[in-house]
Amino acid sequence: MRVIYAGGGTGGHINPAISVADYAKEHDKAHSALFIGTQSGLETRLVPKAGYDIKYIDVIGFDRKNPLKAVKTVMKLIRSRQECKRIIREFKPDCVVCTGGYVSGPVMMAAAKCGVPSLIHEQNVYPGLTVKGSEKYASYVAVSFEETVKHMGNKDICVVTGNPVRMEIINANADAARKKLGITKPLVLIFGGSLGAQRINTTVIKMLKSIERDKRFSLIFGTGERNYQSVTEAIKGEGITLNDDIKVLPYIDNIADIMAAADIVVARSGAITVSEIAVLKKPSILIPSPNVVRNHQEQNAREFEKQGAAAVITEAELDENALYDKICSMISDKDGLLTMSKNLEKIAKTDALERIYGLMRNMENKGKTK
Residues 307 and 261 in one domain: yes
Residues 84 and 182 in one domain: no
Selected residue with higher pLDDT from 88 and 144: 88
Assess whether pLDDT exceeds 70 at residue 345.
yes
Residues 90 and 196 in one domain: no
Q: What's the CATH code of the domain at 217?
A: 3.40.50.2000
Residues 51 and 130 in one domain: yes
Residues 79 and 173 in one domain: no
Residues 338 and 357 in one domain: no
pTM strictly above 0.95: no
Range of the domain at 63: 2-165+350-368
The total of structural domains in the chain comes to 2
Residues 48 and 145 in one domain: yes
Residues 29 and 112 in one domain: yes
Residues 182 and 247 in one domain: yes
Residues 192 and 302 in one domain: yes
What pLDDT, on the 0 to 100 scale, is given for residue 244?
85
What pLDDT, on the 0 to 100 scale, is given for residue 63?
63
Write the single-letter amino acid at 310. A
Residues 156 and 173 in one domain: no
What pLDDT, on the 0 to 100 scale, is given for residue 108?
96
Contact 55, 32 (CB under 8 A): no
Q: Which residues lie across from 219 on neighbouring strands?
A: 188, 246
Residues 122 and 178 in one domain: no
Task: Please list, residue by residue across 124-150, b when 16 or more beta carbons sit within 10 angstroms of its beta carbon and e when fewer do.
Answer: bbbbbebbebbbebbbbbbbbbeebee
> Residue 41's pLDDT band (boundaries 50, 70, 90)?
confident
* Residue range 102-144, pLDDT digits in tens: 899 999 999 999 999 999 999 888 888 889 999 999 999 999 8
What pLDDT, on the 0 to 100 scale, is given for residue 212?
92
Cα 296 to Cα 17, 183, 256, 274: the distances in Å are 20, 34, 24, 12
